[in-house]
A and B are shown apart, each in its own frame.
Chain A
């Protein structure tokens, strides 16, 4: 997309010269670097509960954030008013992080190139509401029809269209139009008046509404949520203690996000507070493990044409055959560490300072047959699906919570067990990966990653893997 076609040029009549002027103002106190992040965000959400469409809402917000870097210091200010005097005021506030005369003579902006990973003509947020409301109604019907034991369903459809423009004192100018849509289904099952169990499913991406009509339909997510709820009705207490764990493909890739992803973000490593600090070149996983963070997969929830600092996203190898290769870099860390940015600078909105973040994080497929992996386990836990996870990057301890798991007994998946949290230590856990399946699958597109109060959409993926030793937090 070109600057001249952007909403900022067309509707708000902002010119390149305006941007150059704001950047000069931001550097007027001697800062080394400045950037502007303009954002116009349209969001909508529709929800159904008890088969009643109870809520439909839409909103628009916009603003610009001005950042100035002086050495290791960052000054930040933003305004939700795009009037020139308001932007200049924000630039002056941010400028004060530095103290001295301006070092910049002239800024010449040139439009930078990014990818074209989501060539969406009509974003879901731009379609008729009547079309979108059908998605939640269809999912509600399908979940209830799945099994007579399903007694409650809730479906939320949410989309947004984020239009962004980044201008930097390095002379980079990028614009992007980022659509995102997601359908989430929750179903409750109960039998013979017993205790209810819940199942969840959902997905989406940077896609057109067509995606939900042809690729991943409301019925697909509804059946998956209902299936999980019904499966859990028979669940026995989960085991406790160290055992062999097999993770199924797809969303269980959250293991990588928590175990290694956060610990490899450059800000923590620059400061030496991560359990992975100073370990580049060292073995941190079994040689079966190659972990990639790739922001360039077309249409994926975690993908971006350029990151939120105007740098093209990339395919970054974090761990190669078990050896730590590098960190996820944003602009500030790459300046201070004198390495190239990996296109990993992201932020929640114009009101937030960017920092290194993941995009789509996954483990490359191996050679093992997934069924053979299960057959090789005499006693262990098979985890088909997970809720969320969390990590303490300093100690390296991480958790992720199984929402659907089964015992493996004598090489066979047998009984379902109740929710349990799994815990491990980042630089150690992947050393116990002894088999990697050939069935790499990415998750369906529901991930949200939180860091220092900022949420961004991400993706994960993993093939079936076997971990010889991991602590399972059950009660039995």
Chain B
């Protein structure tokens, strides 16, 4: 990526918007270079390499807002960007809660957050392809039943994020991302199953070794072979960390400030109340160095921070941007997130459940009959009501042991009950992305099967 004038351009776009009649303005510019290599059955399959950049503008005309974006950063392109946002403000409605953050709320975390590792830009193409090949080869060599592969890949992304507003904020940060992953296919007679595993980090040297990624993916696919569809019943359900992360995603949706003020969340109006079992503490922290949920400031220019969301089962805070905070009579928690167009939404930093003391083996060991879930599919989570019903696959627990594969079943319950019914939180918390959870055990859910 080249040095260039993008921060100056963002400030210039804000100035032009004010000159054109806006009473407030904020501009986001993002620039990124992507690389991906995929291999399949030991041969290179796809190689992709490119860069792009674009700018987004949101303006206020009193209490009305308009926004626009463009990938054309020429003089004409910028002029159209400004004109378009100003024009659009004319069709929106006065909104008493619209506006930028207060000047004293703006700022950026100091110091190196470990988001950018320049070496990522200097990796040789052959080296990157080789990582993907090594991951896939290790998967194929794990077991004779690994007979096919959907492929393996290595990706990098190098990004630069710039934000400026008319209250004097101007900031930028760079970030790097690398990942290696594999999707092997296992077969035993008529049974065919795939699974995947990946590792992601800010730099290549912090990735899990490619061979380990491939072998883990292979073992995951192998243990799914010859699944049984179990009868419909109510049993304890254990979420392995990867799927427990999706449960954290549902908790995030339920504390999302926009959904809360619209009464679209089952946690609306529950601040200060007990909403989960005492074993559950959930934190959002965008200040943890090197992690993927970390940033120096949010997408409105408010410094990133750590927010305790659920503490020993009690709902302590929602996650808010400026708008949702004003609607709820609160202060922003620095969770504004946006693409290039439109008003800021809400995102999370590193959103995780605090680890408990039990090992996952001990959790499974204490269950006579239950379901250990390793994959969830579908979108059957209703945040308005908390109703939860998803397709699941995994392993049946019998006498404290993982006994056999299970698939083509559903698990169902209601999130309010499920949270109150978290009976165990594992010690195995690991940050593989911006959502993280250790193993979680829910006392009882309905497994829908035969």
Contacts and interface: CB of A to CB of B under 8 A. Distances in A.
Chain B contact residues: helix, strand, loop or mixed: strand
Contacts of A473: 380, 389-391, 409-412, 446, 448
A391 B414 CA distance: 23
Contacts of A195: 266, 384-385
Interface in B358-376: 375
B378 A61 contact: no
A390 interface: yes
B27 interface: no
Interface stretch (B44-52, B279-287, B297-305): B44-52
Contact of B71 (A63, A389, A398): A63
Given A353-B46, A474-B446, A56 B380 contact: no
A52 B98 CA distance: 11
B98 A54 contact: yes
B377 interface: yes
A377 interface: no
A473 B65 CA distance: 43
Nearest to B447: A240
Contacts of A198: 264, 382, 384
A403 B448 CA distance: 18
B49 A77 contact: yes
Interface in B2-53: 40, 43-53
B254 to A, nearest CB: 13
Contacts of A455: none
Interface stretch (B87-95, B135-143, B313-321): B87-95
A192 interface: no
Contact of A129 (B53, B91, B448): B91
Contacts, number: 261
B343 interface: yes
B450 interface: yes
Interface residues of B, number: 82
Contact of A54 (B47, B69, B77, B92): B92
B262 A49 contact: yes
A242 interface: yes
A390 B185 contact: no
Interface in B75-97: 77, 80, 84-85, 87-95
Interface stretch (A210-218, A244-252, A415-423): A415-423
Nearest to B54: A61
A80 B80 CA distance: 17
A390 B80 contact: no
B449 interface: yes
B212 interface: no
Contacts of B379: 387-390, 401
A238 interface: yes
Interface residues of A, number: 79
Contacts of B385: 195-197, 418-419
A395 B53 contact: no
Contacts of A425: 408
B412 A421 contact: yes
A435 interface: no
A37 interface: no
Nearest to B50: A78
Given A57-B69, A60-B80, A196-B384, A77 B393 contact: no
A353 B378 CA distance: 25
Interface in A410-431: 418-421, 423-425
Nearest to B80: A60
Given A59-B70, A423-B448, A130 B378 contact: no
A297 interface: no
B72 A129 contact: no
Nearest to B125: A96
Interface stretch (A115-123, A267-275, A320-328): A267-275
5 contacts: A48-B93, A57-B69, A77-B50, A188-B384, A241-B449
Interface of A: 43, 45-46, 48-63, 72-80, 90, 93, 96-97, 129-130, 133, 151-152, 154, 188, 190, 195-198, 238, 240-242, 271-273, 275, 351, 353, 387-392, 394-395, 397-401, 418-421, 423-425, 471-475
